[in-house]
């Protein structure tokens, strides 16, 4: 931890939140002289205080420790570059327009990298929608949890459940990338 950088970040975030040194000190249970010391780079907060400082200032622990916020590059709204994160514990699905620091159930999640499937899903255009199906087993321990269609400006996602057939309809509002997540093999993609 670089105490100068961490102190400068604490000062910047505290000011953005409209907190005085004394107000921040009261919330986290230290004296205002301690906050002043940190902000001047003359010391660092005790490790036991970092989670509370992180919560109060609305910043991740990694950013607090490194003393800098990582700005994401602008993707100009291209949904085809959307990142998918799935929690291995609860199965929650989280998406982000760019790579982000994402955590769930106490774990840091990494963005899933879509793979090319050995067997693509069956996709057939029926009226104004894509009919998507597969003979995937869909058991409680091994199933496809979602199917999504990404176009340049749209995400359409269908949640799927174990012990149901893998059959769903997605509006055919354009061609794009079809993505699906298998609970045992990861994220797959195909162009439709």
Q: According to CATH, what is the number of the domain 79-191?
A: 2.60.40.730
- What is 3-66's CATH number? 1.10.260.40
CATH 1.10.260.40 in the chain, residue ranges: 3-66
Residues 50-99: tens digit of each pLDDT: 889 988 998 888 888 888 876 554 445 566 678 999 999 999 999 998 77
Mean pLDDT for the chain? 89
Task: For residue 46, give Cα distances in angstroms to 26, 29, 148.
Answer: 15, 12, 45
CA 113 to chain centre: 13
The structure's pTM equals 0.64
Please report the beta strands in the chain, taking only residues with DSSP state E, as ranges in sequence order: 83-86, 93-96, 102-104, 107-109, 122-126, 129-134, 144-150, 155-159, 166-171, 177-182, 186-191
Average pLDDT rounded to a whole number, residues 146-166: 92
């Amino acid at each position: 931890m670089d105490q100068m950088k961490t102190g400068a970040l604490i000062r910047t975030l505290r000011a953005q939140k409209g907190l005085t040194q004394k107000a921040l000190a009261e919330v986290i249970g230290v004296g205002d002289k301690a906050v002043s010391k940190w902000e001047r780079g003359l010391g660092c907060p005790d490790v036991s205080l970092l989670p509370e400082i992180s919560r109060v200032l609305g910043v991740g622990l990694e950013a607090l420790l490194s003393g800098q916020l990582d700005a994401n590059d602008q993707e100009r709204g291209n949904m085809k570059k959307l990142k998918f994160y799935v929690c291995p514990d609860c199965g929650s699905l989280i998406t982000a327009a760019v790579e982000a620091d994402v955590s769930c159930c106490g774990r840091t999640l990494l963005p899933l990298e879509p793979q090319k499937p050995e067997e693509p899903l069956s996709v057939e255009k029926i009226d104004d929608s894509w009919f998507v199906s597969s003979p995937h087993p869909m058991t409680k321990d091994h199933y496809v949890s979602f199917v999504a269609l990404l176009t340049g400006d749209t995400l359409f996602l269908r949640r799927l459940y174990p012990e149901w057939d893998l059959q769903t309809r997605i509006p055919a509002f354009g061609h794009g990338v079809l993505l699906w997540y298998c609970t045992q093999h990861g994220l797959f993609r195909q162009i439709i």
